[in-house]
Amino acid sequence: MVTLKDVALRAGVNHSTVSYVLNGKAKEKRIAPATCERILQAAAELGYCPNANALAVKRGSSRIIGVLGSLRGEFIMDMLRGISDEAARRDFSLQPRTINAPKDIPVAVAGCRSYRCCGLIGMDFMPAEHAALKAAARTFGAPIVMVDTPIADPEYVTVNSDTFAGARDAVRHLIAGGHRRIGCIGIAELASRSAGYHAAMAEAGLRPQTGWVYEMLLQPNSGPGKFDAVAQTMEKMLVTERLSAIFCASDPLALQLFQVAAPLGIAIPDDLSVIGVAGMSYAQLGVPPLSSVSQPFYDMGRQTVIALEQKLSGAAVAPEIVLPTQLVLRRSHRSIARTA
């Protein structure tokens, strides 16, 4: 690899002179224009590329952002891309590390520490993981930004989408469409979505009855048992409760509902309106295409990096950044005649 010294040798100057010129301090250090020219040319000819590692050593800190997360699912990929794009724009590099279990967190943080990462991003951290990250990062000192996490914490900035408003608007839309018997399949860990449902129902003077609302647990990893339990609950909602619409706290949940409804002869959207949450690309591949509360994952990723850089520069950063969701109306819901 070609170094400063190589360039200096070819230009016939000291390597420090090269450094000054290449860092735009030629004026300040009064390097002769002719010398500058010579140095620039030598650098170009040799294809000089500064050693970022050496820089990090010299500066005492790098421009590497550690990114910790489960690295599972399409929406995480979208967030990661947002993070990556914005990081590239701001001359940061990324260092992703998979978190498969809470025990991975200290290891991952140690890795980031060894590279002297200037900051940490936690993607989709669940409650149990929050504490572990905080503990691991405490001795580290780099600022943390959490993206798409249900937990706010004064110790770090969080970037989220407004799923409460998104869910509320979705249910409002159903109510405006004449629906009254509206159910909710929520996810216990993502309480704001169910809260949005409840808010919309309450403001319309509707009282969700027992059996209309089910809160599933995300944590126990998706075994077939869980899948069946959810399916059974869905079936009960459809058959016993005869709901005309169901709000689902996630797109996969909504598509699972499609699967449950089909054999029961319940047509979507004619017999049942369904709205999900996520904005996954495959939601539009459902039969019918799924109406959904779309979350701006890509932008959330970008905002995460922006917030991190602000924090690094010492600027004041809002502790909680909330991006709006968008209700994407496709064809899994419809208006119904109002019944008395």
Q: Are 293 and 163 in contact (CB under 8 A)?
A: yes
Residues that bind DNA (CB under 7 A): 1, 3-5, 12-17, 19-20, 22-23, 25, 29-32, 34-35, 48-51, 54-55, 57-58, 60
Which alpha helices (H) appear in 115-158, and where do they start and end? 127-138
Could you tell me the end-to-end alpha-carbon distance of the chain, in angstroms, rounded to an integer?
79
Give the phi and the psi of residue 140 in degrees, each rounded to 5: -90, -55
Q: Does residue 255 bind a copy of itself (CB under 8 A)? A: yes
Q: CB 47 → a copy of itself: shortest distance, Å?
A: 5
Q: Where are the beta strands (DSSP E) in 179-290?
A: 182-187, 213-216, 245-248, 273-278
Nearer to a copy of itself, 163 or 256 (CB): 256
Which of a copy of itself, DNA, none binds 35 (CB below 5-8 Å, type-dependent)? DNA
Which region holds residue 30: left if phi is over 0, alpha if psi is between -120 and 50, else beta?
Answer: left
Query: What's the one-letter identity of residue 157?
Result: V
Nearer to DNA, 35 or 233 (CB): 35
Sign for the CA dihedral angle at 328, 329, 330, 331 comes to: positive
Nearer to DNA, 13 or 306 (CB): 13
Q: Are 146 and 175 in contact (CB under 8 A)?
A: no
Nearer to DNA, 29 or 138 (CB): 29
Over the window 265 to 294, marking each residue x when it contacts a copy of itself by CB under 8 A and - when it does not, the resulting string is ---------------xxx--xxxxx-----
- Return the number of other C-beta atoms located less than 10 Å from residue 73's C-beta: 15
CA 125 to CA 121: how far, in whole Å?
10
Which of a copy of itself, DNA, none binds 327 (CB below 5-8 Å, type-dependent)? none
Q: CB 89 → DNA: shortest distance, Å?
A: 20
Restricting to residues 188-247, name those near a copy of itself by CB under 8 A.
none
The count of residues interacting with a copy of itself (CB under 8 A) is 54
Which region holds residue 137: left if phi is over 0, alpha if psi is between -120 and 50, else beta?
Answer: alpha
Among the listed residues 22, 94, 131, 218, the single contact to a copy of itself using CB under 8 A? 94
Using CB under 8 A as the criterion, which residues of the chain lie in contact with a copy of itself when the complex forms?
1, 47, 49-54, 56-57, 60, 62, 71-74, 76-78, 80-81, 84-85, 88, 93-98, 100, 107-108, 110-111, 113-116, 139, 252, 255-256, 258-259, 262, 280-282, 285-289
